Structure 1
Amino acid sequence: MKLDIVFEDEKIIAVNKPSGMLSIPDRANVQPSLKAILQKDHENIFVVHRIDRPTSGLIIFAKDADTHKKLSALFLSHDMDKRYLGLVNGTIYPESGTVNAAIMESKEKTSIMIVHSKGKESITDYETVEKFPLYSLVEFRIHTGRTHQIRVHTKYLGHSLVCDELYGDGQPLKVSSIRKNYKLSKLEEDEKPILSRLALHSYKLNFELDGKNYALEAPLPKDMRASLQQMRKK
């Protein structure tokens, strides 16, 4: 499998992860992961952080132990500027702000995270970039790296990310749900979704390492761009 390498030097390698791919091998170690694929061409690959499997976008790996240590420290000290773009159902009010709400794993449902006073500190900045009648494009900046943080905080605000199966309705996005006058062509029997995975993309990572400034960016994937294109049509 050919990876979309965004940036590479002697210390790091940054990959634009496709939605659905694992960042690191799972316990069964039978499905492809970014780390496993990178290890085929690189002697040393060190995991610095992860992004959820359904989330697409930037993820960086270190090529040596010293770099791994320094990058890990940047994440722990919140000196790593991490930004995401997501399609949200509805419009969040206020349209920009900060969510400071602790997160912990649900005791009732495994793999589900909830806002709880006994959880770990979790901070997310958000800003609405573009509004549509039924959806919004929102930029998120996370200061902590909790599991499902953006998804949980978005739900906490009373909304959900498009196609989120865990914290929303999980319904795929179709043109007919965006445009009321949409009609199937004569060649189509059923309408195909234009977006059928979690609408969340890690698009920017800014940080300083050994005196060098890194400003990495991964453009929105095709399915999210196509969704926005339909939303922008009058």
Structure 2
Amino acid sequence: MKLEIIYEDDQLIAFNKPSGLLSIPDRFNAEIPNLYRMAQAKYESIIPVHRLDKDTSGIICFAKNEESHKYLSQLFESRSVEKYYTALVNGRMITPSGSIEMPISENMAKRGTMIVHKRGKQAHTDYETIKEWQGYTLLRIRIHTGRTHQIRVHMQYIGHPVVADPIYSNGKGLYISSLKKNFKNADPLGEEKPILNRLALHAAQLRFEGMDGKQVEIDAPLPKDLSASVKQLDKWS
């Protein structure tokens, strides 16, 4: 797999992580491919600063030395980094923009998942509509906190789960047959291939102040599957 570098300077390097690739090694199985180990083949001294869920695509930053790692880690911990995501969600929003400020806690009934619950930690998500179609909305989302599965949990909570989310929705991808009337499947085996068959969530932009005092803005273009989904929604919805 070829890694896509989207930003680099003397202090850090950023990649556009594909969906399905771990950010860092799995603590139970270090042999599973991950972005950190792949990047180390070329940049031996890099240090992870943050991470994304395996199924989320987009920006991942690595520090190039201990000094920049300390600086960047403090920025993330102090919430001094502006983090923006692009998400395709189910349904049309009642209001084109809004804020969700609901605490998130681990789901004690289902380990490894999260829920909105009063015992949880404070979580703040802003959303703004980019485009909408019949049954779907493309959102620009900013998270002010970094709780586990925050966007996915908050979007499910307001009734608009992220498309193809296997945990917080039905996991169903995007198919032409659900958009186009009188769709005819040309596949001889009768199996329709989805336009999008993974979590429709992408870490699109980071903004923060660099060590030299200058503003750093890193952008990750939409992956092909998400771009294709938008084009097909424009065409058929």
TM norm structure 1: 0.96
The Cα shift of 1:187 comes to 5.2
Structure 2 vs 1, CA of residues 139 and 186 (structure 1 numbering), >3 Å: closer, same or farther? closer
Aligned length: 234
Quick check: 1:88–1:135 contact (8 Å CA) kept in 2? yes
Aligned to 2:58: 57
1:115–1:156: 8 Å Cα contact kept in structure 2?
yes
Q: Give 5+ residue unaligned stretches, structure 2.
A: none
Between the aligned residues of both structures, percent identity stands at 50
Q: Report the AA paired with residue 190 of structure 1.
A: E
Contact 1:134–1:178 (CA under 8 A) maintained in structure 2: no
Aligned runs of 1:14-33 on 2, under 5 Å?
Answer: 14-27=14-27, 28-33=29-34
Name the CA distance, whole Å, in 2 between partners of 1:59 and 1:186: 37
1:215 aligned counterpart, secondary structure: strand
Task: Measure, in 2, the Cα distance between the counterparts of 1:181 and 1:81.
Answer: 44
Tell me the amino acid that sits aligned with residue 231 of structure 1. Answer: L
2:7 matches 1:13: no
| Per-residue CA distance 1:71-101 (angstroms, 9 max, x = gap) | 1111122111110001100012222111111
- CA distance in 1 between counterparts of 2:72 and 2:133 reads 38
The question of whether the paired residues in 2 share the 8 Å contact of 1:90 and 1:159 is answered with yes
Equivalent residues in 2 for 1:177-216 (5 A)? 177-185=178-186, 189-210=190-211, 211-216=213-218
Match for residue 88 of structure 2? Answer: 87
> How much is the aligned-residue C-alpha RMSD, in angstroms?
1.3
Q: Deviations over 1:111-153 (max 9, x none)?
A: 1101111111111100111010010001110011111000000
Q: Which amino acid aligns with 2:226?
A: M
| Structure 1 runs (4+) greater than 6 angstroms displaced | none
- TM-aligned CA deviation for residue 105 of structure 1: 0.7
Q: Which amino acid in structure 1 is aligned with residue 14 of structure 2?
A: A
Cross-structure match for 1:162: 163
**Structure 2 residue 209 is matched with structure 1 residue 175:** no
Partner of 2:131: 130
Any conservation in 2 of the 1:80–1:205 contact (CA below 8 Å)? yes
Q: How big is each residue's C-alpha offset from its partner over 1:157-207, in whole Å with a ceiling of 9 and x where there is no partner?
A: 112110001000101211111222322237563211111000000111111
Aligned to 1:114: 115
Please list the CA deviations of residues 34-90 of structure 1 after superposition, one character each: whole Å capped at 9, or x if unmatched. 111111222312111111000000111111111111111111221111100011000
Residues 38-53 of structure 1 mapped to structure 2, 5 A cutoff: 38-53=39-54
Given that 1:84 and 1:141 are in contact with CA atoms closer than 8 Å, whether structure 2 keeps it comes out as yes
Amino acid at match of 1:217: D
The 3 A distance-change label for structure 1 pair 149 and 186 is: closer
Residues 163 and 196, structure 1, Cα contact 8 Å, conserved in 2: yes
How far does residue 212 in structure 1 lie from its aligned partner after superposition? Answer: 2.0
